[in-house]
């Protein structure tokens, strides 16, 4: 998928995330936002997969460690959802690791536990 299409889908992801946040409000469990966001994106005819497993690979070997992506959009964009007071460096490292392990260009770290969603929405790139 080219960068123009990735950016167009990114806009839809932001709008869908804002819609979910306005509808549900802050303070709920991450799993609630995950289910609602998957539904909101599907209503917009955007393909999503929830809880996608990515194995850890090292020197061509698949190791006995899997990581789970919260939502994979159009098989290209990783969404890592949080419902926390503060985004910590470990949360950012988690998304950066997923981008690398899954060989994806673009990801978003979305914290729904904020008053305004724009304050909890952050974009990350990997060779974009």
CATH no. for residue 94? Answer: 3.40.1350
Contact 126, 107 (CB under 8 A): yes
Rounded to whole angstroms, how far apart are CA atoms 40 and 81? 15
Residue 24's domain comprises: 3-125
Q: Tell me the pLDDT tens digit for each residue of 82-92.
A: 999 999 999 99
Enter the pTM of the model.
0.94
Cα torsion angle, 26, 32, 37, 42, sign: negative
Give the chain's count of helices (H) and strands (E).
3, 5
Residues contacting 93, CB < 8 A, separation 6+ = none
Query: What total of structural domains would you count in the chain?
Result: 1
Q: Tell me the pLDDT tens digit for each residue of 24-74.
A: 999 999 999 999 999 999 999 999 999 999 999 999 999 999 999 999 999
Report residue 122 as tokens. 């952050």
């Amino acid at each position: 998928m080219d960068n123009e299409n990735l950016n167009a889908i990114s806009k839809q992801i932001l709008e869908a995330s804002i819609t979910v946040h306005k509808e549900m409000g802050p303070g709920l469990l991450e799993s609630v936002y995950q289910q609602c966001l998957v539904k909101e994106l599907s209503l917009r005819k955007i393909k999503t997969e929830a809880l996608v497993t990515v194995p850890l690979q090292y020197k061509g070997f698949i190791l006995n460690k899997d990581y789970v992506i919260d939502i994979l959009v159009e098989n290209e964009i990783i969404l890592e959802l949080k419902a926390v007071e503060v985004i910590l460096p470990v949360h950012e490292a988690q998304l950066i690791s997923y981008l690398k392990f899954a060989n994806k260009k673009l990801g978003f770290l979305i914290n729904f536990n904020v008053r305004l969603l724009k304050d909890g929405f952050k974009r990350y790139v990997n060779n974009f």
